[in-house]
Amino acid sequence: RLGWDLYLRETIDSTNAEALRLLQSGVLAPFVVLAEGQTEGRGRRGREWASPPAQNVYYTLALKVSNGIQGLSGLSLVVGLAVLDALRRSGVEGVGLKWPNDVYADDRKIAGILIELNGDPADLCHVIIGIGVNVNMGPNALSIGQPWTTMREQTGRLASRADLTHFLSESLYRYIGRHSREGFSSLREEWEANNIWHGRSCVLSTGAQQIKGLMTGIDEQGALCLWIEGRGELRFSGGELSLRLD
């Protein structure tokens, strides 16, 4: 028994926005919000997340942060591991992680993760973990500005949204529990084993600049390690960073 309350919605703006409203109206975390569809599904950096109704999973978990903001270091990578585990348990093969927390299958994006904080980090705060998984979305459904895939395409059959949702909750419970008990360093090796771009030449955008380097891995906190010609190995962390292949 996870003991997470479940809030089911038809089409709403965004499950992350709904979780925030529930917290503000006094609902106690932990809880999960699920929606059939989203009209304002959001990605990182204000981008849009394509969210047609009845075909995919739009899932948000709201949790109380108990061990302080520093306990959140590596959380987004850990959530990536949990999503990967849930996909594998649903029978999807060939999946991997793109730093910091995109889930890829066959070099295309199959799931995205958006983590938001609510409240005063020095005091009581909540973390809102939004997960979108492409389950059965059809190829002509929408125009998405980058390569994407679905569970259906990867397995060759319709996938069960109910099963995936169940696996997601179980995997999140396990991985987040381990992260808060043992810290990110205990999960670093598992993350590295699923790093799809290990050893590849990448470009990191920081907003202001583009930095070219070889991805050597991640450190004990989950920061990206790039080997840069003439500068050696440098580490990068923070929410506004975006990595692509060179």
Q: Which is nearer to ligand ATP, 109 or 178 (CB)?
A: 109
| 8 Å CB contact between 110 and 144 | no
**Single residue of 43, 71, 91, 183 touching ligand ATP by CB under 6 A:** 43
Q: Is 18 in the site for ligand ATP (CB under 6 A)?
A: no
Name residues whose C-beta falls within 8 Å of residue 58's C-beta, 6 or more positions apart in sequence.
15, 34, 35, 36, 37, 38, 41, 51, 130, 131, 132
Q: Which stretch binds ligand ATP (CB under 6 A): 4-12, 21-29, 47-55, 78-86?
A: 47-55
Q: Is 140 in the site for ligand ATP (CB under 6 A)?
A: no
Residue recorded with tokens 């948000």: 60
Single out the catalytic residue among 9, 88, 108, 109: 109
- Say which entry of ligand BTN, ligand ATP, none residue 38 contacts (CB below 5 to 8 A, set by partner kind): ligand BTN
- Show the tokens assigned to 50: 């394509």
Q: For this structure, is 244 an active site residue?
A: yes
Q: For this structure, is 109 an active site residue?
A: yes
- Show the tokens assigned to 55: 């075909």
Q: Which is nearer to ligand BTN, 46 or 156 (CB)?
A: 46
| 8 Å CB contact between 39 and 13 | yes
Distance of CA 79 to CAs 93, 157, 163, 233, Å?
18, 26, 18, 26
Q: Which stretch binds ligand ATP (CB under 6 A): 23-31, 139-147, 156-164, 181-189?
A: 139-147
| 8 Å CB contact between 222 and 235 | no
Q: Is 44 in the site for ligand ATP (CB under 6 A)?
A: yes
Name residues whose C-beta falls within 8 Å of residue 115's C-beta, 6 or more positions apart in sequence.
75, 76, 79, 101, 127, 128, 129, 130
Single out the catalytic residue among 42, 44, 152, 161: 44
- Say which entry of ligand BTN, ligand ATP, none residue 148 contacts (CB below 5 to 8 A, set by partner kind): ligand ATP
Dist. CA 8–CA 154, nearest whole Å = 27
- Say which entry of ligand ATP, ligand BTN, none residue 19 contacts (CB below 5 to 8 A, set by partner kind): none
Q: Is 64 in the site for ligand ATP (CB under 6 A)?
A: no
Q: Of the candidates 113, 106, 98, which has an alpha carbon nearest to the alpha carbon of residue 152?
A: 106
Q: Which is nearer to ligand ATP, 33 or 137 (CB)?
A: 137
Q: For this structure, is 98 an active site residue?
A: no
Catalytic sites, residue numbers: 44, 109, 244
* Interface positions with ligand ATP (CB under 6 A): 43-45, 47, 49-50, 102, 109, 112, 132, 134, 144-146, 148, 242-243
